[in-house]
Amino acid sequence: MSLESFFSPKSVAIVGASRRKGKVGYEILTNMISSGYEGKIFPVNRSADEIEGLTCYPDLSSIGETPELVVVIVPARFVLGIIEDCAKLGTKSVIIITAGFKEIGEEGKKLEEEIVRVARRAGIRIIGPNCLGVIVSSSKLNASFGGDMPKAGGTGYLSQSGAMLAAILDTAKANGIGFSSLFSIGNKADVDELDLIEALAADPNTKVIAGYLESIGDGNEFVREAERISHQKPILLMKSGGTTAGAKAASSHTGSLAGSEVAYECMFARAGIIRCDSITQQFDFAQAFASQPLPRGPKVVVLTNAGGAGIMAADAIERQGLTFAKLAEETIDRLAASLPAAANCYNPVDVLGDALPDRYEFALDVLLDDPSVDAVVVLLTPQAMTQAAETAEAIAKTAQAKPDKPILACFLGASKVEAGVKVLREAKIPQYESPEAAVATLRAMADYVLWRSQPKRVVKLFPVNRRKVESIIDRHLRKGAREIGEAESKEILEAYGFATPKGSIATTADQAANIADQLGYPVVLKIWSPDILHKSDVGGVKVGLKSAQQVRDAFDLMMYRIPKKMPDAHILGVLVQEMCASGREVILGMHRDPHFGPLMMFGMGGVMVEVLKDVAFYLAPLTGDEAKRMLMNTKTYRILQGVRGQEGVDIEAIAEGLQRLSQLVTEFPQIQEMDINPYVVGLPGTTPIGVDARISVEK
């Protein structure tokens, strides 16, 4: 169902309009009037004949026509009746400002659910309840109690928190930042964040979608749709409430390292969403995305009237991983021919402290012509000769004449640059309080351009034995077993194309020695028990055993010591396994996030994964490029490539292993957590070995 009536309704009824200043019903009504809304306004209040010169109605049915949008401010116990009235009249859009629903407990939750049930049956869309309201600049609609109508702009904003939206409105007003629309979504009983992001994507007045969220409903659908929309318009989100340290007890290394914050970071990366750490940063990014063209690349030039400020910007460019633009010889010659002899004609271009507007205008014009420049940061410090307002006008004039490259300004100071800052804002040239903030914004823009330029995602599917895996998982679930033992975990891996070491389970020392003789030495012994997840912690792993006697001794020692350490563990025997050839030990893992599904993990293997915590995560299913990017996102990637004369390992083989594991956990949602650790990888051309594996399943 369309949300059009929330953007441009032809008539609005305010149920709970009040005559008393300071009441929400009064503030919303007066905001509607003062914003210049040109449609019909119907105040509804049983105790008043008129409010602020408008005829008041005792109920919706007495209006005599169907209001396109209804704003509800009455106490919670009366809201259901209002929704039923809307259903009878045929109103399809309702904003419920009222609080007192699921946020207060079970009783409020039941009432909210009943309201939604009635609304959906009648085809009514609801924003709220427990929200601040809606503001839309193009239709002069201020159906909120968030304050005065903000300046019109290209940013559409949605917020789960009404209080945050009020703060954002106040901050924006102080900084001259405009919006196309603002939506407070409150409890998200019906219209949620994805509904509004889709609506803002279709809104011609919105160039940038921004928001503040505390939770996301359907994670998989959100990722799919946000990824599609991000190719059309940038999405800038603040997301709070993500630092909970792993909501559930995890048995795998991957599960213990993958918290909800990690899942959200992966979701943002997949969907091309730009994450903002603060309101200030979000505004920094939004004003540039809304008013400037996207840079063609990462090459930045700095134009300044002060050497110190230029150096600060240069440092920021390097720290942010952008490129310090190397100016063309022709550009340098043109600058040198007209700038004072003491000026610096290389990047950063210093036009000196006595620079007047004409010098800034000339230099900026020349720099914008240079094909090696993708973006310009213009710095100004207030010195004796500085004309801040006139310089800002010169910058705006040049930007208007050459609109193909982004120009970001940083007028440093306060009262002496205030007039110039005002000119910049009116001309829609983004202004920043520091060079670092301007450069950080350019980094966000460059990253977004890079994300949009990526080829279409193609996930490779490998030929596998799904039936084998299905039978193992079903057998465990029928028995109520959550953990799949190492032997059957390896059978699952083999069904998906992984190589594993040969081995068998022994129940006596002599049997262990016989198995070792057949495998060939050296061998590894591992305690075999469904109750012991971390074998090495209890002395349950012995490696490099080179004779039958060493195998017997190791077997007897395990069976003597481990039952004393873990008397309740059910020990089935000892796994005797061939010892793998030397190579790098890495870990491939997965933890299933309740919102976003399989979260893949890669890092250095063995016990080092918990010590170093140098791991990378990404949402499944993985493409080949994404698998390689996971490797590159770890600090230890250089070790895998080979350092100080050591040969590197087979990077392509690790990436393929991640893709195979991604296919497995995507095709079997019963798998909740798993690790292949260690996954031993050798020189290019050799076959990696899944030495140990752990899989947990749920229905």
Q: Which pLDDT score is estimated for 250?
A: 42
User: What is the homologous superfamily of the domain 466-578 according to CATH?
Assistant: ATP-grasp fold, A domain (3.30.1490.20)
Q: Reduced to 3 states, what is the DSSP secondary structure of residue 303?
A: strand
For CATH 3.40.50.261, the residue range(s) in the chain are 293-452
pLDDT, tens digit (0-9, with 9 covering 90-100), for 53-90: 999 999 999 999 999 999 999 999 999 999 999 999 99
Q: Which pLDDT score is estimated for 612?
A: 65
Distance (Å, rounded) from C-alpha 631 to C-alpha 298? Answer: 23
Q: Which pLDDT score is estimated for 251?
A: 44
Q: Reduced to 3 states, what is the DSSP secondary structure of residue 73?
A: coil
pLDDT, tens digit (0-9, with 9 covering 90-100), for 355-407: 999 999 999 999 999 999 999 999 999 999 999 999 999 999 999 999 999 99
Distance (Å, rounded) from C-alpha 98 to C-alpha 130? Answer: 5
DSSP 34-50: HTT--SEEEEE-TT-SE
Q: Name the fold adopted by 293-452.
A: Rossmann fold (3.40.50)
Specify the CATH number of the domain 4-206.
3.40.50.720
Q: Which pLDDT score is estimated for 257?
A: 56
For CATH 3.40.50.720, the residue range(s) in the chain are 4-206
Q: Which pLDDT score is estimated for 556?
A: 94
Neighbouring C-beta atoms of residue 22, cutoff 10 Å? 7
Place of tokens 């400002």: 97
Distance (Å, rounded) from C-alpha 683 to C-alpha 108? Answer: 62
pLDDT, tens digit (0-9, with 9 covering 90-100), for 420-437: 999 999 999 999 999 999
Average pLDDT, the chain: 92
Place of tokens 């083989």: 653
Q: Which pLDDT score is estimated for 248?
A: 43
For CATH 3.30.1490.20, the residue range(s) in the chain are 466-578
Q: Backbone phi, then psi, for 401, in 5-degree steps?
A: -75, -30
Q: Tokens in use for 344? A: 């610096």
Q: Which pLDDT score is estimated for 171?
A: 87
**Whether 431 contacts 409, CB under 8 Å:** yes
Distance (Å, rounded) from C-alpha 119 to C-alpha 125? Answer: 7
E strand or H helix at 408: strand 407-411
Q: Which pLDDT score is estimated for 645?
A: 67
**Whether 180 contacts 160, CB under 8 Å:** no
Question: Beta strand pairing status for 208-213 and 235-239?
Answer: parallel
Low-confidence ranges of the chain (pLDDT < 70): 1, 241-259, 606-612, 644-645
Distance (Å, rounded) from C-alpha 76 to C-alpha 85? Answer: 15
pTM (2 decimals)? 0.89
Q: Which pLDDT score is estimated for 267?
A: 93
For CATH 3.30.470.20, the residue range(s) in the chain are 584-697
Distance (Å, rounded) from C-alpha 28 to C-alpha 37? Answer: 12
DSSP 182-246: EEE-TT-SSS-HHHHHHHHHH-TT-SEEEEEES--SSHHHHHHHHHHHHTTS-EEEEE-S---S-
**Whether 588 contacts 570, CB under 8 Å:** no
Residues in Cβ contact with 558 at an 8 Å cutoff, skipping those fewer than 6 apart:
525, 527, 539, 540, 542, 574
Q: Which pLDDT score is estimated for 217?
A: 82
Place of tokens 């591992």: 526
Distance (Å, rounded) from C-alpha 677 to C-alpha 659? Answer: 16
Q: Torsion angle, CA of 141/147/149/155, rounded to 10 degrees?
A: -90
What is the domain class of 584-697 according to CATH? alpha beta
